[in-house]
Amino acid sequence: MNIENDYFNNLYSVDFGEANSIRKPKDELIGITIKQIILDFLHVKPKSLLHYVCESYDGKHYSRSRLFSNWFRLYREEGCSKFIVNYKNDEVNYSLEFIFRNGHYIISELEEQIINQMGEFSEAK
């Protein structure tokens, strides 16, 4: 992602979805697999800030977010944190969700930077 704010030099976005938009039967290996993909990525790029996207095109954003939160809780990895920032502008309520390795970001600073950046995006419209 290319954002002029240096704070986000290591920001990456990740999105998971069903192949061909076809919902498969519940598979407990999906959560474990996604967790491992994220851990492998953070191992290679430990300073990364991963913004995981729960698409809202079909109105199921909160269900996806809850599922991802459940996976994070079930397969919790020591040394990683999950953080959600809620941002509201005149048009939309955003729930921005992030995962990162501990020791690279201070939560209060991260929240402030995200809110400021979202404000800049809103003003640029």
In a domain, 1, yes or no: no
In a domain, 44, yes or no: yes
Mean pLDDT of 40-44: 92
Q: Total structural domains in the chain?
A: 1
Compute the distance between CA of residue 82 and CA of residue 50 in angstroms, rounded to an integer: 9
Domain of residue 59 covers 6-124
- DSSP type of residue 75: T
* pLDDT per position as a tens digit, 54-98: 666 666 677 777 877 887 787 777 788 888 888 777 777 777 889
Q: How many CB atoms lie within 10 A of CB 25?
A: 4
pLDDT of residue 96: 84
In a domain, 98, yes or no: yes
Compute the distance between CA of residue 96 and CA of residue 108 in angstroms, rounded to an integer: 15
The predicted model scores a pTM of 0.77
Mean pLDDT of 40-59: 82
User: Tokens representing 30?
Assistant: 């999906």
